[in-house]
Structure 1
Amino acid sequence: MGRSLHILGICGTFMAGLAVLARELGYRVTGQDANIYPPMSTQLQQAGIELIEGYRGADIPTDSELVLIGNALSRGNSAVEWVLNRRLPYRSGPEWLQQQLLGERWVVALSGTHGKTSTTAMVTTMLQQCGFEPGFLIGGVAPGLGLSARLGRPPYFVIEADEYDSAFFDKRSKFLHYRPQTLVVNNLEFDHGDIFADLTAIETQFHHLLRTVPGRGKIIYPAGVAAIERVLQRGCWSDTERLHHPDGWQVERQETPAGQQLQFWWQGERQGELLWSQAGAHSAANALAALAAVRHAGIPPPEAIAALSHYQGVKRRLETIWQRHGIVIYDDFAHHPTAIATTLAGVRQRYPKQRLIAVVEPRSNTMRLGGHRDSLPQALAVADVAFIYSGQLAWQLAAGESIAVNELSELVEQVADAAVAGGHIVVMSNGSFDGFHQRLITALEQRLG
């Protein structure tokens, strides 16, 4: 294979990470996307990667030896049709990654419906702080790591293991290409309603994932999750460790204004404690899973816990983006009712007497199509006021405590009016939210001076 690579869908978090890795491996990399947008476009341009906006097939460089096609592209896309009609060599991103890199590494894979990005960043941080130079690929940017991907040095490669499909020509979950030695299954719920018919279909993909873990590998999972138990019952050939179980790993959590205090236990023996700035039960659960993963990779728990104190979070995971006049605005990626509920609960527990305002853009395909219509109201119940941007929904919101707003400008005005009295505003979307965050900040600054 030559050393020239072209990537379709290059600004997606996964494909952008591949582009960075390819550059480190010595490839000349170019890429196309429908929209060239930060933060990934910034990361790519800094790596010396040429970006082309739009999907004109004629824009694919004629000297490209291989085309990687992202899973956001389908038949009918002009660039895809160009590749197929001219019989250009092509691969999915996950397949290329396995062939070029993962086959030579100890792969630590972090999977599950929620918490993958944060837990992947935690494991990477812990290994780095303990003297290793792990490679990694994360579906986001962690301030403490600088980039979303890095080649690193053997033996370790840490990867966010996504169950979404690999490409239009390979409908298997991406994680089936990774072949991990250490696998965390953090949780398992229905999501991605655009490609999975039901939870059973997702469980089948996780069953196939378990089949790829060697007998000497390790599978780490939370006790008492029915969907994960069903997956294990279908076949497990590797050692396992349970989270939140007296015979395995446990964590005790206390929320304080100074931060979250955690104590960790392994088989009834205390391993250490941590005070950090993260909030919520989900953060504690992610930390516990990360601790178990790095222990399997050879890091003693006391050292790993000390290393975790250097974790700086991940952008868009309860990230404080503005704070003035007693008002704090957070940006969060939560787009599933469980993640929404745990994110809001974490803020509520840390600031029990302060006002909590939730703003949700139901942007994911599952949410837009009504897959979570029954559970969304309960997820927002902990907030004093909840706003839902309903402009793109294919279903009708039920009457309740949430305020549904169809127009973005109206949403900005209503949230700003509600926020003037002070409190914590958690804005949740897995997209750009059409610039809502900055528009809200501008509106508040105009009101408050």
Structure 2
Amino acid sequence: MAPAIPTAMERPHFIGIGGAGMSGIAKILAQRGAKVAGSDAKESGTAEALRALGATVHIGHATEHLASDASSVVVSSAIRADNPELVRAAELDIPVVHRSDALAALMGGLRAIAVAGTHGKTTTTSMLAVALTELGLDPSYAIGGDLAGPGTNARHGEGDIFVAEADESDRSFQKYDPEVAIVLNVELDHHANYASMDEIYDSFETFVGKVVPGGTLVISADQAGAVELTRRVRDLSSLKVVTYGADEHADVRVHKVTPRGLTSEVTVLLGGKYLTFTVSVPGRHYALNAVAALAAGVALGIPAHNLASALGKYTGVKRRLQLKGEAAGVQVIDSYAHHPTEMTADLEAMRAAASDSRLLVVFQPHLFSRTQELGTEMGRALALADASVVLDIYPAREDPIPGVTSALIIDAAGTAGADVTAVHDKTTVPDVIAGMARPGDLVLTMGAGDVTDLGPEILARLS
């Protein structure tokens, strides 16, 4: 039986309903019987999926799209104050609910696992969703990306477990009260909202402090920021801390990660016993995500060997080293990586998976603020590729910052010895890559913006 729908969520209107986080909440509410409506900037497969669930989806933002009887208007931090539907909500005195509050309401009364960290949240949340579903536990889940298997980012399940990706970017993850919290890593990002690592640590401490009494924190024993966070929260008497990683003192110790082409074999030491399982995506960082998922499931009382077997059913998430296809002997793979740590991890994973191939990268920086702070590190990461094409910055929700362009990345890449080409017209990229690529090469489209659209275009041009 579905949990009762909060009154404010009975007839919600979502501004930006097609977004990864917003659409997931809207889908779950529709599956629970709410009368869902919303608007988005453009038509999409997500909009069609929502309509198939009974939701009303308008294209474009206009005052007439907001019904006067809406029980609430749901927004994310990306929605600007002058959005006409948000202005109209104020005129009609309709309550405005932040996305995180809506998600927190959906988790109420269920055993929640909240997955946090600067990188790897979507993958780890997806691994848990797939494994728990495979075990017949029928979880609900809300993820920031579409699963390669079920092909959706959210689902209402009849079980008592809710797995959610917990976003630190705007501190919204502080709204949740999970039974199990996962912290994969803690690094400085989202520079428009955090001025220092101290602010980041304070935010993560608040998140961890919301774990229900007797609950569990699963946290990396290897990553420096996570180790520091563990030190800061060790004194929380009601919290059980479970560490995982290669560190010899980790509670769930990673004994070995063996690359097997585009998969990995992982062996962990857990409870004095060795356990080996397969992760169906390449790269050590994805293997560690799987170990975090394993530890979280065990914290809920699920047998480790059952979980390990079920984790092997995970086949990936769209945009997380997703193979888009092959043409003229060239494989095209898509990566969501947009922070230097993520970029380095994915590039190293592709190097290990195909050591004899040339690696060509099409990189689109995401956000002016991130490029301003981390552009040098992004450029250095690109030195791991044989050659790179760098596009203009994808602005997303931000206005330009004077003097901040892709040149910051290109200059740093050149200093690091990378072969980098600036391309300002995105439509020319397929021709540029076709002129560079030869049979056996790997092409990686990388970034959090619309660079993902180039994969099929590159394949068409190559063929």
TM-score of the alignment, normalized to the shorter chain, above 0.5: yes
Contiguous gaps of at least 5 residues in structure 1: 166-172
CA contact under 8 A between 2:262 and 2:282: conserved in structure 1?
no
- C-alpha displacement at 1:421, in angstroms? 4.1
What is the CA–CA distance in structure 2 between the aligned matches of 1:208 and 1:159, rounded to whole Å? 17
- C-alpha displacement at 1:348, in angstroms? 0.6
User: SS of the counterpart of 2:114?
Assistant: strand
- Structure 1 residues 177, 391: closer, same or farther in 2, change over 3 A? closer
> With structure 1 as the length reference, what TM-score do the two structures score?
0.92
- Residue 442 of structure 2 is matched in structure 1 by 424
- C-alpha displacement at 1:324, in angstroms? 2.7
Q: Match for 1:386: what amino acid?
A: S
CA contact under 8 A between 1:142 and 1:315: conserved in structure 2?
yes
Residue in structure 2 matching 1:377, options 373, 376, 379: 379
- Residue 93 of structure 1 is matched in structure 2 by 99
CA contact under 8 A between 2:280 and 2:314: conserved in structure 1?
no
User: SS of the counterpart of 1:274?
Assistant: strand
Q: Tell me the alpha carbon deviations over residues 231-275 of structure 1, each in whole angstroms, 9 at most, x when there is no partner.
A: 3444342110111133311221111337322212225531x2123
- C-alpha displacement at 1:7, in angstroms? 1.0
- C-alpha displacement at 1:365, in angstroms? 4.5
1:4 is aligned to 2:11 = yes
- Residue 153 of structure 2 is matched in structure 1 by 148
- Structure 1 residues 391, 226: closer, same or farther in 2, change over 3 A? closer
- Residue 179 of structure 1 is matched in structure 2 by 177
- Residue 3 of structure 2 is matched in structure 1 by none
User: SS of the counterpart of 1:187?
Assistant: coil
User: SS of the counterpart of 2:173?
Assistant: helix
- Residue 169 of structure 1 is matched in structure 2 by none
- Residue 268 of structure 2 is matched in structure 1 by 264
- C-alpha displacement at 1:199, in angstroms? 2.6
What is the CA–CA distance in structure 1 between the aligned matches of 2:18 and 2:179, rounded to whole Å? 29
Answer with 272-281 or 7-16: which moved more. Answer: 272-281
* Percent identical residues: 28
Q: Match for 1:240: what amino acid?
A: V
What is the CA–CA distance in structure 1 between the aligned matches of 2:125 and 2:379, rounded to whole Å? 30
Q: Match for 2:149: what amino acid?
A: G
What is the CA–CA distance in structure 1 between the aligned matches of 2:359 and 2:213, rounded to whole Å? 47
Q: Match for 1:55: what amino acid?
A: H
- Residue 343 of structure 2 is matched in structure 1 by 340
What is the CA–CA distance in structure 2 between the aligned matches of 1:295 and 1:235, rounded to whole Å? 21
CA contact under 8 A between 1:391 and 1:406: conserved in structure 2?
no
Residue in structure 1 matching 2:34, options 27, 31, 37: 27
Q: Tell me the alpha carbon deviations over residues 366-409 of structure 1, each in whole angstroms, 9 at most, x when there is no partner.
A: 434x2211211221222111221136582333160222222223
Q: How many residues align?
A: 434
- C-alpha displacement at 1:344, in angstroms? 1.1
- C-alpha displacement at 1:45, in angstroms? 2.1
Residue in structure 2 matching 1:404, options 418, 422, 428: 422
What is the CA–CA distance in structure 2 between the aligned matches of 1:339 and 1:28, rounded to whole Å? 38
What is the CA–CA distance in structure 2 between the aligned matches of 1:432 and 1:275, rounded to whole Å? 31
1:241 is aligned to 2:242 = yes
> With structure 2 as the length reference, what TM-score do the two structures score?
0.89
CA contact under 8 A between 2:18 and 2:47: conserved in structure 1?
yes
Q: Match for 1:198: what amino acid?
A: S
- Residue 359 of structure 1 is matched in structure 2 by 362
Q: Tell me the alpha carbon deviations over residues 73-93 of structure 1, each in whole angstroms, 9 at most, x when there is no partner.
A: 121222211111331122112
Residue in structure 1 matching 2:308, options 273, 289, 305: 305
Residue in structure 1 matching 2:168, options 163, 169, 182: 163
User: SS of the counterpart of 1:157?
Assistant: strand
Answer with 70-79 or 105-114: which moved more. Answer: 70-79
- Residue 36 of structure 1 is matched in structure 2 by 43
What is the CA–CA distance in structure 2 between the aligned matches of 1:373 and 1:319, rounded to whole Å? 25
- Residue 4 of structure 2 is matched in structure 1 by none
User: SS of the counterpart of 1:420?
Assistant: coil
- Structure 1 residues 145, 78: closer, same or farther in 2, change over 3 A? same
